[in-house]
Chain A
């Protein structure tokens, strides 16, 4: 029997090309299984073969979404795979977005079943979980072993056309798809059961979860820029040399507030970046690339806006839980209200 063919997508890191310094590499394809593909292939057994691995740098993909997608589609097409697998991306944000983007494109343009895997807080998960099957993984590659059985099971089902069950049964992120089935108990009974559990303070599973609209309405525009107070915030990990508050280079649990009083520019002697998610060489040489103090001071002196707040707030955006980021934002927002800030420039890397 011919083997089922799988094409696998990896970023530069999992593809073994390199770390952040290689995140700009263009897509390439190799006729072999690589990195996590070895574990997936082994678990799949001899009826399945990873015939090729496409590797693309996360920055290249993020900065050239359309071009990278087109190139990779052409690469994948030649192999006529039965299933296309991307990642898993765990909690790597750019990688997650790349996996989701390429999976969606492969499914739409080539009609091939696709699968990826991510940690639920990966921004790519929110963007694509409704479109594609996204196996729920932990937040680091150390959890691959745990999610591997789910990945393998779904690949097999996709290849053979076997029915894929609901998200909790198969271990993928909920897609918001309703499927008809015969329940053992009628609606009235289920409703009463839920009510009794709720009254007893016990956990219960609703038949119809409400969507979460986590949006904030746009704030009013600044009407008097000549007198406006502007503040800078960044998730780019720019901190004073020595990182006095020990902000983590990944999965930050805190942010820092640092003075820029009397400075005309972000000097590399005073500031650096501790961000663990991008190639830091440029920002270490010139922190103004992330905290644009040089330009803001000039515009402030020229009267283009009222006043620059004499400090900036900073943290590391990579791998940081959205819950932590929301807390930082709330705390920074409160301080800005106290300090009568009129507008904020928030720079992300």
Chain B
């Protein structure tokens, strides 16, 4: 799906927990998720903290969409 959309020239940031799969399918902008059953947040840390994690990750995703890349790039740290 990532490639199907990106081929129209729209940047896609793939937020996925198993980064090697994301690389194999050919995503160009990748942000590692927290866990497979909860990619954006961590409910085991309570709702408030979980949401904070999510906000941080979504902010990072918005930034990743603004970073020019020439190759597959994993954004695993804050930009």
**A and B interact physically:** yes
Taking Cβ atoms with an 8 Å cutoff, the residues of A that contact B are 20, 23, 59, 62-63, 65, 93-94, 97, 123, 126-127, 214-223, 225, 228, 230, 233, 235-236, 278-283, 285-286, 288-290, 292, 294-296, 298-299, 304-305, 315, 322, 325-334, 336-337, 341-349
Whether A348 contacts B37 in the complex (CB less than 8 A), given A286-B43, A295-B51, comes out as no
A181 CB to nearest chain B CB (Å): 31
Asked if B10 and A344 sit within 8 Å, CB to CB, the answer is: yes
A215 CB to nearest chain B CB (Å): 5
Asked if B58 and A225 sit within 8 Å, CB to CB, the answer is: no
- 11 residue pairs of the A-B complex, CB under 8 angstroms, read A62-B18, A94-B18, A216-B7, A219-B12, A221-B11, A233-B12, A289-B39, A328-B4, A346-B14, A347-B15, A349-B39
Asked if A221 and B58 sit within 8 Å, CB to CB, the answer is: no
Q: Which residue on chain A has the smallest CB distance to residue B16? A: A348
Q: Which residue on chain B has the smallest CB distance to residue A315? A: B1
CA distance A215 to B3 in the complex (A): 7
Taking Cβ atoms with an 8 Å cutoff, the residues of B that contact A are 1-18, 20-22, 24-29, 33, 35-41, 43, 47, 50-51, 54-55, 57-59, 61-62, 65-71, 73
Q: Which residue on chain A has the smallest CB distance to residue B25? A: A123
Asked if A286 and B47 sit within 8 Å, CB to CB, the answer is: yes
Q: Which residues of B contact A286 (CB under 8 A)?
A: 41, 43, 47, 50
Asked if B4 and A325 sit within 8 Å, CB to CB, the answer is: yes
* Chain A CB within 10 A, most for which of B22, B51, B58, B73: B58
Asked if A292 and B18 sit within 8 Å, CB to CB, the answer is: no
CA distance A164 to B37 in the complex (A): 40
* Chain A CB within 10 A, most for which of B3, B40, B47, B66: B40
Q: Which residues of B contact A296 (CB under 8 A)?
A: 58
Asked if A333 and B8 sit within 8 Å, CB to CB, the answer is: yes
Q: Which residues of B contact A328 (CB under 8 A)?
A: 1, 4
Asked if A281 and B26 sit within 8 Å, CB to CB, the answer is: no
Asked if A59 and B37 sit within 8 Å, CB to CB, the answer is: yes
Whether A63 contacts B35 in the complex (CB less than 8 A), given A218-B28, A219-B6, A325-B4, comes out as yes
Asked if B10 and A348 sit within 8 Å, CB to CB, the answer is: no
A157 CB to nearest chain B CB (Å): 29
Q: Which residues of B contact A305 (CB under 8 A)?
A: 62
